[in-house]
Structure 1
Amino acid sequence: MDLHRGLIITLLITPLLACGQQSNAADEAKAAPLVPVETGAVSRESVSHYYRTTALLEAPEEAKVVARIDGIIETLAVEEGDRVQAGQLLATLDPRHHRLHLNKAQAELDVIDQELNRLAAIANRQLVSEETIAKLQYRREAALAQRDLAQLQWQYSQITAPIDGVIAKRHAKVGNMAKVQEVLFEVVQQHPLHAVVHLPEQELGRVRLQQEARLSLQGVDGPVPAQVLRIAPTVDPDTGTAKITLLVNNEARHLKAGMFSNVQLRFDTHENALVLPRIALIRQDLGHAVFVIKEGMAERREVTLGYSEGEQVEVVAGLTEGDQVVVRGHHQLHDGTEVTVIDPLQLAAGR
């Protein structure tokens, strides 16, 4: 009898306990806090595909200015860092020795000219043989060459810039003896500059003249524009690459030859492409996914990506324009999580 009564009591209590547990679970679900997230919109923009490499900036023209004659350096007209133009005076050598040679050669030429003029003034040509006049004319040609050579030697005492550019190095010092072929100055051109990259042969079909590129350099704000100037006609068999020369704008002269740069060579551009912020992506074994907010809940979507540029990534499939994707807080989410969207601007203002 007692056993029967205990069984009845047990059967009555069990449903009551089950109802209590379901009620507690529902209450806990209602009391669970919403996960705060920040979102970004899927929009349409142009996005480009770049080939990324590195390069050193090079001066397209550089010259070592050498002494063409021996001489004591008398004056210096420029210093390192000065901008010069072709033909501008850089320094002078002692010209006195070469000036004397020029005066002597000019005097000898003047004597011969006077003799030729005297003979030409003689009325009776039979008094002077043709052989005498021919020898005198030959002497004049030789004297003229000697005079021109002496004048050239005298001009070499004026050291001038062979190209437009900047004085990169000054080796000359006042009072020192300059020897023939001794380097006195080094001049480099600063605007424009060149950047040489070596492109794999499988990528050659995607590059063309005047194609756009951009360079990033340490200490220089923003990207530096460049374009393809030359494409080598041959491929190096040892490296399997071709030399591509970029023309780099340096009108402001902020860049220097020898600087290291990261190069992005633009291969292609998709206009009006569907893009999303890169930080919205979640890596997975076979690709990428994002969380899209729908009616206050997170919905996991797999996406197919295209080109990427900066902080934007092209979406080929999986999203539509206007979708709100989670950019912060997605690591706390799973499919179906209820969320609350936080405006970062309001959050910053509240602080």
Structure 2
Amino acid sequence: MNTYRPTNRFAAVALLSMLALPISACSDAGANNESAVDIQQTQVARIPVATQTVMAGEITSSFKSTATLEARDEADVTSKATGIIETILVEEGDYVEAGQLLAHMRDDEYRIQVAQARAELNSIKQELKRVKDMAERDMISADAYDKLRFQAEILQAKYDMAALNLAETEIRAPISGYIAFRYVKPGNLVRH
């Protein structure tokens, strides 16, 4: 006879539950949760990348640096004459050739000095020519002739100096290059 006992039933359910727990621990349901976490971590670790079609072309490279640049040749341009700047023909940044006229000084006084020296020289040359003829005829002493000849040489040097001073009123570039700085303006006095 089969009698129904509630304790047997309770014991059977408890036994089945205990057996089911280890089996459910080995099931695939936990693996799904772990793989979902791995997928999320993989998605977070992904880096966005852009692609582009490869094309043939030139490659340029550049290099940035700091440095001090110095000119190969440099010249400070000054005047050998004293006077007032009348005109300036170049500005900062202009390129000039060697010998090019940069500025012109007022030259009135220098022109007068050249004219005066020329007149004195011409006068002494005329006098020297006349005295030379007299010295050849022994009408004048050799000493007087020599003094006049030395006087003519002095006046020639004076004329040459006046002509040089006049030429120095034109300020010219000593070398070819760019005008870096300009320190004078028209009307400024330049001293030798």
Q: State yes or no: 1:38 paired with 2:49.
A: yes
Shift of 1:117: 3.2
Paired letter, 1:153: N
Structure 2 counterparts to residues 31-110 of structure 1, below 5 A: 35-38=46-49, 54-110=66-122
Paired letter, 1:169: R
| TM-score, length-scaled by structure 1 | 0.39
Shift of 1:100: 1.4
1:171 aligns with 184
Structure 2 counterparts to residues 173-188 of structure 1, below 5 A: 173=186, 176=187, 178-181=189-192
Paired letter, 1:151: A
1:159 aligned counterpart, secondary structure: strand
| Higher-Rg member (1/2) | 2
Q: State yes or no: 1:115 paired with 2:119.
A: no
Paired letter, 2:17: I
Q: Which runs of 5+ in 1 are unaligned?
A: 41-49, 182-351
Distance in 2 of aligned mates of 1:70 and 1:27: 96
Distance in 1 of aligned mates of 2:50 and 2:85: 71
CA gap of 1:37–1:167, structure 2 versus 1, over 3 A, is closer
CA gap of 1:30–1:73, structure 2 versus 1, over 3 A, is closer
Distance in 1 of aligned mates of 2:169 and 2:144: 38
Paired letter, 1:147: Y
Aligned length: 169
CA gap of 1:81–1:23, structure 2 versus 1, over 3 A, is closer
Shift of 1:136: 2.6
Per-residue CA distance 1:254-310 (angstroms, 9 max, x = gap): xxxxxxxxxxxxxxxxxxxxxxxxxxxxxxxxxxxxxxxxxxxxxxxxxxxxxxxxx
Q: What is the aligned counterpart of 2:151 among 127, 139, 142? A: 139
Larger strand percent: 1
CA gap of 1:23–1:168, structure 2 versus 1, over 3 A, is same
Paired letter, 1:108: E
Identical amino acids, percent of aligned pairs: 31
1:24 aligned counterpart, secondary structure: helix
Shift of 1:14: 1.7
Paired letter, 2:20: L
Larger helix percent: 2
CA gap of 1:38–1:133, structure 2 versus 1, over 3 A, is same
Structure 2 counterparts to residues 1-351 of structure 1, below 5 A: 2-3=10-11, 6-25=14-33, 28=36, 35-38=46-49, 54-121=66-133, 124=136, 126-164=138-176, 165-166=178-179, 168-169=181-182, 171-173=184-186, 176=187, 178-181=189-192
Paired letter, 1:102: V
Does the CA-based 8 Å contact 2:105-2:169 persist in structure 1?
yes
Does the CA-based 8 Å contact 1:70-1:177 persist in structure 2?
no
Question: Higher relative contact order by CA 8 Å / sep ≥ 6: 1 or 2?
Answer: 2
